[in-house]
């Protein structure tokens, strides 16, 4: 249904006989819409951007090799993707579990990052400010938690809503090469694809990634964080993108996630 609708739009834009093959290259993705939220009203384990993460009691805040704390960016609960299963995925999407993303924002050259997977979302608790004297980070020292003396950059909490859509590849991706579009047609297509993929912003999971840089071979776009003024996210270096191999996604091996700044 979505591919057929996309094909009709492409035909109306003048792509002619290329409309159907282009529409068939569409990959199901999830558009993420962020909404201002009260941290205390977000139940533990629910998807969110910013604020403080929901973690196990023995959680240790991730740090860089030099000891600086990473910034908490997002947590995604795969159970919230249940309503989208009717469309079908081309990759093995987990049915449950929470994945949390941390990133060093003090450098764009091989930045440190960490992705955690918590299989049991019901065991998670709200991690208060880890730099406050009476926070869980300090109170739970006996259970292995470590106090962090430096403060990581933090962001206001945002609740998340999800919408499934059919993402399109840019002409730099190999499948488009097989269509042998002319230079002018490729340019027109890239403008159309960029506008199509950026509707409702560029926060995204799965599907074709934003930018002119090809996705790593055999990898899935796990999370892409777009520009978002409400969070203070204005990326001058491109967009933060996390990738995972399909086989690793199927087995929930999130410790193998890779990261890049996409341009």
The mean pLDDT of 64-81, rounded to a whole number, is 92
* CA–CA separation, 200 and 233 (whole Å): 15
Residue 141: pLDDT band (50, 70, 90) is very low
**144 pLDDT more than 50:** no
Residue 142: pLDDT band (50, 70, 90) is very low
Residue 249: alpha-carbon gap to chain centroid: 14
**112 pLDDT more than 90:** yes
**149 pLDDT more than 60:** no
Instruction: Give residue-wise pLDDT tens across range 157-214.
Output: 999 999 888 888 887 776 777 777 778 878 888 888 888 888 878 899 998 898 767 7
Provide φ and ψ at 49, rounded to 5°: -110, 150
* CA–CA separation, 91 and 60 (whole Å): 31
Cβ contact 83:95 at 8 Å: no
Q: Please, what are the domains in the chain? A: 2-262 (2.30.320.10)
């Amino acid at each position: 249904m979505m591919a057929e609708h996309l094909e009709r739009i492409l035909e109306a834009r003048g792509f002619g006989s290329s409309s159907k093959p282009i529409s068939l290259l569409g990959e199901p993705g999830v558009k993420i819409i962020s909404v201002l939220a009260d941290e205390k009203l977000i139940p533990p384990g629910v998807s969110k951007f910013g604020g403080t993460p929901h973690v196990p009691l023995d959680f240790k805040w991730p740090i860089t090799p030099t000891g600086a704390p990473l910034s908490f960016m997002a947590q995604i609960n795969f159970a919230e993707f249940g309503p989208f299963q009717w469309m079908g995925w081309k990759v093995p999407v987990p049915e449950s579990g929470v994945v949390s993303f941390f990133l060093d924002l003090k450098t764009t050259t091989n930045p440190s990052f960490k992705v955690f997977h918590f299989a049991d979302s019901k065991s998670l608790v709200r991690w208060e400010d880890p730099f406050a004297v009476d926070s869980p980070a300090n109170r739970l020292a006996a259970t292995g938690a470590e106090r962090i003396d430096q403060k990581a950059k933090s962001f206001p909490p945002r609740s998340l809503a999800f919408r499934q859509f059919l993402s399109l590849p840019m002409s730099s991706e190999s499948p488009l090469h097989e269509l042998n579009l002319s230079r002018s047609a490729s340019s027109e297509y890239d403008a159309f694809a960029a506008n199509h993929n950026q509707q409702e912003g560029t926060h995204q999971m799965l599907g074709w990634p934003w930018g002119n840089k090809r996705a790593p071979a055999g990898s899935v776009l796990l999370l892409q964080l777009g520009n978002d003024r409400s969070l203070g996210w204005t990326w001058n270096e491109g967009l933060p993108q996390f990738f995972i191999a399909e086989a690793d996604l199927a087995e929930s091996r999130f410790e193998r996630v890779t990261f890049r700044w996409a341009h």
